[in-house]
Amino acid sequence: DAGVTQSPTHLIKTRGQQVTLRCSPKSGHDTVSWYQQALGQGPQFIFQYYEEEERQRGNFPDRFSGHQFPNYSSELNVNALLLGDSALYLCASSLVSAAQGSGFGQGTRLTVV
């Protein structure tokens, strides 16, 4: 969805480092969801934020954490990076009451070396 923006578009980090990815939702949306898409796989749900709190969480370790700000933008933080964290990280926004799924931002390609 053209309205969801993510930064940066590409990032290279070293094992053990920490990374922060950012997402600005489409105007008017109040809910932000984060997904991890490994190469050749479908996206996997990490977590969702609504009203600045984690509303839902997928099966990801505590190294993955997030935050939502009063303007509804969100950050995804990953600590102690592993090679296996290399993936495309996608952000999607919606209204919490939405009947239809929302679109994704263009994603952040994270490479851990």
Partner 1 sequence: GENVEQHPSTLSVQEGDSAVIKCTYSDSASNYFPWYKQELGKRPQLIIDIRSNVGEKKDQRIAVTLNKTAKHFSLHITETQPEDSAVYFCAASIGGGADGLTFGKGTHLIIQP
Token digits for 46? Answer: 């990490």
User: Least CB distance from residue 25 to partner 1, whole Å?
Assistant: 12
User: Least CB distance from residue 48 to partner 1, whole Å?
Assistant: 6
Cβ closer to partner 1: 48 or 68?
A: 48
Calculate ∠ Cα 56-85-11, nearest 5°.
105
Q: How far apart are CA 5 and CA 55, in angstroms?
A: 21
User: Least CB distance from residue 98 to partner 1, whole Å?
Assistant: 4
Cβ closer to partner 1: 58 or 73?
A: 58
Q: How far apart are CA 61 and CA 31, in angstroms?
A: 21
Cβ closer to partner 1: 20 or 44?
A: 44
User: Least CB distance from residue 19 to partner 1, whole Å?
Assistant: 19
Place of tokens 């996608």: 90
Cβ closer to partner 1: 40 or 84?
A: 40
Positions in the binding site for partner 1 (CB under 8 A): 31, 33, 35, 40-45, 47-48, 56, 58-59, 90, 94-107
